[in-house]
A and B are shown apart, each in its own frame.
Chain A
């Protein structure tokens, strides 16, 4: 039988979705369909006529409302079109699962911890860095929400903060307090986006009342402060200046600061910088010719 006649017999037009044809041919290969969509698919507004619709109810049934909401807000800024993909929705689901498991993993340690801002301001080292990121995330998130309704970038920052918390291996009680602050922050910031899981975690953490009745956290200006250190700068082996740089700055940042410093300029101007060595937190050596 010719393809033409087969299509006619099954009331399929060449403009219809090929899924109908595959179905009639008895081919039920999800991977093949996905491959074809990836290779030769066209992106179009979801519509019944193109049979490229994702039913919201089914999506909620499968992944939950929080995942659907998170994915929709994360996929693009509100004004832009976005293409719904299985990978995308699964990514959103995995993030929530990771967050859920992470909270549960540390729940016992942090459940009954209480802390004050004053005491957290005194933490040092890694905990201090984590704290800075927590408060930087709050500040960025609020700006994204209030000035631009850019939920996608706000969500990206929450995800980054979760990564940081996962990399942080808390040892002391102080560390766990910072961890709790971090988890509470993520939970509060997720609340407008994924409200159910946020309420549940909020309750698990031992808090009373609805999270929706809590205020969005304020960034702590103390935590946002960048710590600076003074570094001796040698030019061709001779000490020429002491320059202030952020404690955690990388070599590129330090190089920019040091080479544009007036006192260093005097010695390097018009010369070629052959070498720039930064011993983190200790010393800068510039070799010029």
Chain B
């Protein structure tokens, strides 16, 4: 009698045997280590086919290499903090902790029936105090070294989720999670100074070439966005400053009276074209816009209400919307600045195509050699002055010449090539205190403050006497309280008196706890290190174990993490290296970004089109045709 193929029976049998024999327990010490890691999941409730594909790829690699004699580390865990748990609490009244741990239990069972070769003894959940304690510890180290800091800043605010979002979490001007258009809001927030690592993050991408998908490297390079150029100062001279004292903020008043001028700093990658700058443009959010418009007598003046209207309109739009807007739009602020190269008085404008987040939020405009400036100049009839002569012929009536060439109309610099001129003009301006060489990045510091409950509490308190005081290491973890109210409005942590009211670790007086929690991307920025030593209760991980297992030899996950998680993790690795906690510069040796699992589907619209019906037709007709079609297919 031939034995029937009964997969479920076989699968249960061997899953049990593997577990009993501890076949997949990872142990340090042997030569030929190999660390296979799949991006750990958010415990949303059930695993989906995308997870299965990700983990199957990892499992095939792990099992194959085990059979090739490698000493394998193949762990699994849960990226367990985050908004859905809190939404479930608001909607269904179930506590985020309960919701999360139940999901973990269920999904773990699902992973087990797929027979993945995980060392479940190393399982971690980032919402366990044993894990997030070390988030707090790392945060304190960052605070000590000035990598974490607090400032009031314009932030991306999701009105629906009522929280701040990182730049990376704003997709096409919308919240990456709920799709609500984001707005700009001033909120005191905690930042991580990832920009201090910009050069290393960029430089070390070279080490990943050939091992990471080119697309991911390109996206990171672009996100960091390094550009070399110059900072150039344009002065707005003010004849009778005492007349305009009401226009300027307190801190500017004294300088204004003494110097009779206000300066605008611009960043440019083309200092060689400074002689061709015929106007200056400030981003609508630039703090000097209202100041200069006031001095230019354009504020509170019915004839020029367009300045106020324009700024208000722009502030309501997201960065993304503004950059997508083809049509250039701006207003003259009523003042003139001095071109530091040739002394010409040029008008100062504010326009939609200049973004406050980039460079200094102000630009010098060279319409002859920048297409966007050219379009703006054409629209508002501003002068176009050629200062770079192209090799061949060029019709400046048709557009800007953005390439390199020989300088003309540039006083002592005529005849130089663009590259030499860049250097010489920057030096010349620098000698006169009107400019300096500058490297600019697109990368911004990472705002990690979230006004939510289900995350790692940021371990600082605010004392009436001592100000902001970090929680001492021996008092970690600062645990999330359980007695909070989930109303869907504001930060639930603020409703826990027991949590909020505390004593100052320094003076023992009354203090309030910080109620912001950390962006969950903080949790996932170092979890791969914790897997090397998941039960350590004295330190985040031992150097010895991390030195043995790291780097992750193959890391597998979705392309959507190209600039989020994968950049943050590289940043953490470098910070931890500076602390002496890890050896390697880069955490992930080889990266595989797996494709998606698709499936065919037919929309109601497609079906109606196919049957030649419209919504105005009768249901009976639709039913008849479907039945006919079915009968013909049978």
Residues of A within 8 A of B19 (CB): none
A55→B618 contact, CB < 8 A: no
Contact of A15 with B605 at beta-carbon distance under 8 Å, contacts A2-B616, A78-B592 already known = yes
Query: In the complex, are the beta carbons of B601 and A37 less than 8 A apart?
Result: yes
Chain A proximity of B603: nearest CB distance (Å):
6
Scan residues 216-275 of chain A and give those whose CB is less than 8 A from a CB of chain B.
Answer: 216
For B492, list chain A residues within 8 Å (CB): none
User: Does A50 lie at the interface of the complex (its beta carbon under 8 Å from any beta carbon of B)?
Assistant: yes
Is A32 a contact partner of B113 (Cβ separation < 8 A)? no
How far apart are B556's CB and chain A's nearest CB, in angstroms? 8
Chain A 269-283 interface residues, beta-carbon cutoff 8 Å to B: none
Interface residues in A183-199 by Cβ distance below 8 A to B read 188, 191-193, 195-197, 199
Q: In the complex, A14→B64 CA distance in Å?
A: 47
**Contacts A56-B51, A78-B594; is A27 near B626 (CB within 8 Å)?**
yes
Q: Is the CB of A145 within 8 A of B110?
A: no
Contact yes or no, A197 B10, CB < 8 A: yes
Q: Does A7 lie within 8 Å of B603, measured CB to CB?
A: no
CB <8 Å contact, A56 and B67:
no
For chain B, what secondary structure do more than half of its interface residues adopt (helix, strand, loop), or is it mixed?
helix
Cross-chain contact of B114 among A44, A56, A80 (Cβ < 8 A): A56
A10 → chain B, closest Cβ, in Å? 10
Q: Are the C-beta atoms of A44 and B601 separated by less than 8 Å?
A: yes
Q: List the A residue with the shortest CB-CB distance to B594.
A: A78
Pair A200/B10 contact, Cβ less than 8 Å: yes
From the candidates A3, A38, A63, A82, name the one contacting B616 in the complex (CB within 8 A). Answer: A3
How many CB-defined contacts (below 8 Å) exist between A and B? 258
Number of residues of chain B lying within 8 A (CB) of chain A: 75
A83 vs B623: C-alpha distance when bound (angstroms): 29
A45 contacts the other chain (Cβ, under 8 Å)? yes
B433-472: which have CB < 8 Å to A? Answer: none
Q: Judge if B218 is at the interface, Cβ distance under 8 Å.
A: no
Interchain CB contact (< 8 A) of A64 among B8, B614, B619, B623: B8
- 1/0 per residue, CB under 8 A from B, across A82-115: the answer is 1111000000000011001100110000000000
Stretch at the interface among B42-50, B166-174, B247-255, B289-297: B42-50
**Measured between alpha carbons, how far is A62 from B469 in the docked complex, in Å?**
58
B46 touches A78 (CB 8 A): no
A7 to B51, CA, bound (A): 34
Does B61 belong to the interface (CB within 8 Å)?
yes
Tell me, yes or no, whether B14 is within 8 Å of chain A by CB: yes
A228 to B143, CA, bound (A): 73
The answer to whether B49 touches A145, judged by C-beta atoms less than 8 angstroms apart, is no
Residue of B nearest to A67 (CB): B7
Q: Determine the chain A residues whose CB is within 8 A of the CB of B617 once the complex forms.
A: 2-3
A172 at the interface (CB under 8 A from B): no
Report the minimum CB–CB distance from B32 to chain A (whole Å).
Answer: 13
Residues of A within 8 A of B51 (CB): 56
Q: Which of A4, A43, A54 has a CB less than 8 Å from the CB of B615? A: A4
Asked if residues B606 and A42 are in contact (CB atoms below 8 Å), the reply is yes
Q: Is B604 an interface residue (CB 8 A)?
A: yes
Q: Chain A, 157-198, contact with B by CB distance < 8 Å: what is the 0/1 string? A: 000000000000000000000000000000010011101110
Closest to B50 in A: A46
What separation, in Å, do the CA atoms of A36 and B69 have in the docked complex? 49
Query: Contact between A3 and B634 (Cβ–Cβ < 8 Å)?
Result: no
Which one of B52-60, B154-162, B196-204, B529-537 contacts A?
B52-60
In the assembled complex, how far is the CB of residue A111 from the closest CB belonging to chain B, in whole angstroms?
A: 13
- What separation, in Å, do the CA atoms of A60 and B52 have in the docked complex? 11
Any chain A CB within 8 A of the CB of B31? no
Residue tally, chain A, CB below 8 Å to B: 88
B67 touches A192 (CB 8 A): yes
Query: A25-B622, A56-B51, A215-B68 known; A81 and B605 CB under 8 Å?
Result: no
Contact in complex: A64, B11 (CB < 8 Å): yes
Within 8 A of B (CB), among A65-79: 65-69, 72-73, 76, 78-79
Q: How far is A21 from B608 in the complex, measured between Cα atoms in Å?
A: 11
Interface string of B1-21 (1 = CB under 8 A from A): 011010110110111011001
Taken together as a complex, chains A and B put the C-alpha atoms of A76 and B18 apart, in Å, by: 29
Q: Is the CB of A27 within 8 A of B57?
A: no
- A79-B592 CB under 8 A given contacts A3-B613, A3-B622: yes
- Residue in A closest to B24 when the chains form the complex, CB atoms: A212
A21 vs B619: C-alpha distance when bound (angstroms): 10
B629 within 8 A of A: yes
Please, which residues of chain A bring their CB within 8 A of the CB of B117? Answer: 195, 212
Contact partner, B599, options A25, A32, A83, A212, Cβ 8 Å: A83
Q: Given A14-B604, A25-B626, A82-B595, are A73 and B14 neighbors across the interface (CB < 8 Å)?
A: no
Q: Is B507 an interface residue (CB 8 A)?
A: no
B153 in contact (CB, < 8 A): no
Give the interface of B toward A (CB within 8 A).
2-3, 5, 7-8, 10-11, 13-15, 17-18, 21, 23, 46-53, 56-57, 59-64, 66-69, 110, 113-115, 117, 213, 556, 592-608, 610, 613-620, 622-623, 626-627, 629-630, 633-634
Complex A-B: 28 CB contacts under 8 Å:
A2-B619, A7-B615, A17-B602, A18-B607, A35-B629, A37-B600, A37-B602, A42-B602, A43-B599, A43-B600, A44-B600, A44-B601, A46-B598, A51-B601, A56-B48, A64-B11, A66-B11, A69-B114, A72-B56, A72-B597, A78-B594, A79-B593, A81-B595, A82-B595, A192-B64, A195-B14, A212-B63, A215-B67
Not counting A72-B52, A216-B64, a sample of 4 additional A-B residue pairs whose C-beta atoms are within 8 angstroms of each other reads A14-B605, A18-B604, A36-B602, A52-B599
